[in-house]
Amino acid sequence: MGLDPQKTSPRIILHLDMDSFYASVEMQKRPEIRGKPVVIGADPKYGKGRGVVATCSYEARAFGIRSAMPISQAFSLCPHAVFLPSDFPLYARTSREIMTSLRRYGFPFQQVSIDEAFLDLSLLGSFSVAGGLARELKTSIRTTTGLSCSVGVASTKIVAKIASDFQKPDGLIVVEEGQAASFLAPLPVRKVPGIGKKSEQELNGIGIRSIGDLAAYDVQRLITRFGRGGIALHEIALGIDDGEVKEQDRLKSVSRETTFEHDTDDHSTLIAVLDTLIDDVHKDLIGEELRFRTITVKIRYEGFVTKTRAKTLMHSTDSKRTLRSSAQDLLRILWGGSRIRLIGLWVSSLEKNDASQTTLDSSGSQEPFS
């Protein structure tokens, strides 16, 4: 024999997610609203507003307010909350500052959204050293930006992500190699990224409530029910996932989508929500100093039937007016009048803005709605 089997060193992945990101940035900017219920998103118009909540502070969450909830419902849950429109350029700047500081550590790095990133810390060789670095990162972000974040450290990306969500806000959870399945087992299946309300109900319907139930379920029956996705679900439940931390190429598209709490065929609601998506995508573009050429609208009906329609312009632009008229045209062409579960908007064929071409039709006040 001669050779001992090589013991491979563990993969150590860190996932970092900022707490109530937009709301925390606003509270950092305005000390007078710290500690209050703060809701970022559409104008509530004293309960008559259309549109949805982007996010809210943990104080507002205590009233039951959540992301993507109709703003009218948020208003009725907590009329005295501070309601603010989103200031995307500010959030994009803060995000860049945080991501740059994470990149500087020199580990493989992957930004996955405006406020989330993975680092591959395998080179550190030990979970306790990685836990120490996680504490250092949290302190450094708090010192430079005043913001708190939650961090999960584990041997896979998915477990690290579930761990970062486990003790929010200001959490730090280290799940050492070999502990993943026991960490996951008691958690509700909804905690698995990608399992939404619908899949949760479907799994509950066959007696699967916790991730442990999912791990113990017969994989063949999962495959019969969910196709190839059944294998992936089963592996996730067992803590198996070999996804790597990969630095993303340039930003390829900017997108937003909203899932309705209740499917809707109300035209004015659809237009209002599309308007919010247009605002958010446009703020994102301006924040990233990008111009776009292709606009795509996606709608999903009851029963997961999804349709998309795209339009490509002759020349790139950053005009919000063009974005709005194109998106509204696409929705008009796409929508047959049935009830809609989800609406999405994305822009692609992006290029960096040249300051001389900027179209200044995007001004928006960041004062509280009054």
Question: Which stretches of the chain bind Ca ion, using CB under 5 A?
Answer: 17-18, 21, 115
Closer by beta carbon to ligand TTP, 27 or else 159: 27
Which residues make Cβ contacts (< 8 Å) with residue 318, sequence separation at least 6? 282, 285, 286, 290, 291, 292, 353, 357, 358, 359, 362
Other C-beta atoms closer than 10 Å to the C-beta of 333 total 11
Query: Residue 21 interacts with ligand TTP (CB under 6 A)?
Result: yes
Q: Are 141 and 14 in contact (CB under 8 A)?
A: no
In angstroms, the first-to-last Cα distance of the chain is 78
Closer by beta carbon to ligand TTP, 67 or else 349: 67
Which residues make Cβ contacts (< 8 Å) with residue 115, sequence separation at least 6? 17, 18, 21, 95, 98, 149
Binding mask 59-88 for ligand TTP (x = CB under 6 A): --------xx--------------------
Query: Residue 279 interacts with ligand TTP (CB under 6 A)?
Result: no
**Amino acid, single-letter form, for residue 107:** F
Contact segment (CB under 6 A) with ligand TTP among 20-28, 219-227, 295-303, 356-364 equals 20-28
Query: Residue 55 interacts with ligand TTP (CB under 6 A)?
Result: yes
Binding mask 167-186 for ligand TTP (x = CB under 6 A): -xx-----------------
**Amino acid, single-letter form, for residue 21:** F
Query: Residue 346 interacts with ligand TTP (CB under 6 A)?
Result: no
Cα separation, 182 vs 233, whole angstroms? 16
Closer by beta carbon to ligand TTP, 125 or else 196: 196
Q: Are 278 and 270 in contact (CB under 8 A)?
A: no
* Residue 73 CB, nearest approach to ligand TTP (Å): 14
Which residues make Cβ contacts (< 8 Å) with residue 185, sequence separation at least 6? 210, 211, 212, 215
Closer by beta carbon to ligand TTP, 114 or else 172: 114
Contact segment (CB under 6 A) with ligand TTP among 14-22, 75-83, 243-251, 299-307 equals 14-22
Cα separation, 275 vs 321, whole angstroms? 11
Pair of tokens at residue 29:
């900017």
Q: Which of 11, 14, 15, 17 binds ligand TTP (CB under 6 A)?
A: 17
Binding partner of residue 223 among Ca ion, ligand TTP, none, CB cut-off 5 to 8 Å per kind: none
295: left (phi over 0), alpha (psi -120 to 50) or beta: beta
* Residue 116 CB, nearest approach to Ca ion (Å): 6
Q: Choose, from 26, 116, 235, 302, the residue flagged as catalytic.
A: 116
Residue 97 catalytic? no
Closer by beta carbon to ligand TTP, 230 or else 344: 344
- Tally of residues, the chain: 370
Closer by beta carbon to ligand TTP, 114 or else 130: 114
Active centre residues (catalytic): 116
**Which residues lie near ligand TTP (CB under 6 A)?**
17-22, 54-55, 67-68, 114-115, 168-169, 280
